[in-house]
Amino acid sequence: MDDRDPKTALIVGAGQGIGLEFVRQFLSENRVDRVYATYRTPSSELVAIPDPRLHCLQMDITQESQIASAIQKIQTETTTLHAIINCVGVLHDGAMQPEKSLRHLNTDQLLHYFQVNSIGAVMLAKHVQPFLKHRNRAIFATISAKVGSIGDNQLGGWYGYRASKTALNMFMRTVAIEYGRTCPSTIVVTLHPGTTDTQLSRPFQRNVAPEKLFSVDRTVTQLLQVIDHLQNSDSGEFFSWDGSRLPW
Ligand SMILES: NC(=O)c1ccc[n+]([C@@H]2O[C@H](COP(=O)([O-])OP(=O)(O)OC[C@H]3O[C@@H](n4cnc5c(N)ncnc54)[C@H](OP(=O)(O)O)[C@@H]3O)[C@@H](O)[C@H]2O)c1
């Protein structure tokens, strides 16, 4: 593998929101030669991107068999990945809302938060590892959230979402240590995107000052700047959208 070999990105959770915008910006800025984009629910916006460099794959990140079969398809076309951006996350859906207090907790909902927000990312790290053994710079970035910071938690609430992002951060820190031995050119980070105008934040935007609510375009531009400045020594760290380090 040398610098002339094709560069390939994998964007996970690309059907809408921040992930979809990562796909758009990777393509429009010609950052790579090929983009694999995964979706859980078929996404008309993703498949409507008219670009032969884009390859879409279905993947529910809670099903390891679906991660494995998407990876198998990629393996038939390439052996290397240079940027993996995992944008999967859940805060609410038709059946669940973030818990305001202890009386709202239930086991199934807590498990679901961990399956989607934490375990999915580490299973992804397991399956993509063989693609990262090359010598070129590679990034494995997962979108976390500042509310997952234990040191920063002043408000309480959102038990499952918070704790699942905290677990995500620990999983990725641990992956960074193992990758440091097995694929040392890969930088593993978690990133806080800032409050971004997507369906995930929409029910909770009322108290957010307009200048603190980012468009997906702005968020992805900012996160790409952070990614572009990462050094090998940053692997295992948790960064905010402005490039500052967040407390664990
Ligand atoms: N928006 C914010 O203010 C904000 C703030 C802090 C952190 N974040 C984090 O940023 C990331 C992206 O969120 P977003 O704001 O772009 O929200 P979003 O538009 O709701 O995107 C979330 C993505 O995760 C996917 N997903 C959910 N469950 C999945 C599963 N089981 N398997 C595979 N994919 C699944 C969704 O797929 P479907 O399209 O099928 O639902 C969707 O593509 C998340 O990790 C979120 O926690 C967002």
CATH of the domain at 43: 3.40.50.720
* pLDDT value of position 1: 42
Residue with CA at minimum distance from ligand 1 atom 26: 88
C-alpha of residue 178 to centroid of ligand 1, in Å: 26
Burial 46-74 (b: 16+ CB within 10 A, else e): beebeeebbbbbebbbbeeebbeebbeeb
Question: Is 200 close to ligand 1, i.e. is its CB under 6 Å away?
Answer: yes
Confidence of residue 4 (pLDDT cuts 50, 70, 90): low
In a domain, 191, yes or no: yes
Question: Is 15 close to ligand 1, i.e. is its CB under 6 Å away?
Answer: yes
In a domain, 134, yes or no: yes
Residue 79 has pLDDT above 70, yes or no: yes
Closest ligand 1 atom, residue 13 Cα: 43
- What contacts 239, CB < 8 A, 6 or more positions away? 189, 190, 191, 192, 226, 245, 246
Kindly state the average pLDDT of the residues 20-31: 98
In a domain, 2, yes or no: no
Stated pTM of the model:
0.97
pLDDT per position as a tens digit, 130-163? 999 999 999 999 999 999 999 999 999 999 999 9
- Could you give the number of structural domains in the chain? 1
From CA 123, how far away is CA 16, in angstroms rounded?
Answer: 22
* pLDDT value of position 6: 82
Closest ligand 1 atom, residue 88 Cα: 24
Closest ligand 1 atom, residue 21 Cα: 16
Query: Residue 13 sits in which domain range?
Result: 8-240
In a domain, 202, yes or no: yes
* pLDDT value of position 5: 65
In a domain, 1, yes or no: no
In a domain, 164, yes or no: yes
How far the first Cα of the chain sits from its last, in Å, is: 36
In a domain, 247, yes or no: no
Percent of the chain topping pLDDT 70: 98
Q: In the Cβ-directed half-sphere of 79, how many Cα atoms lie within 13 Å? A: 5
* pLDDT value of position 3: 55
Q: Which amino acid is at 42?
A: P
Percent of the chain topping pLDDT 90: 97
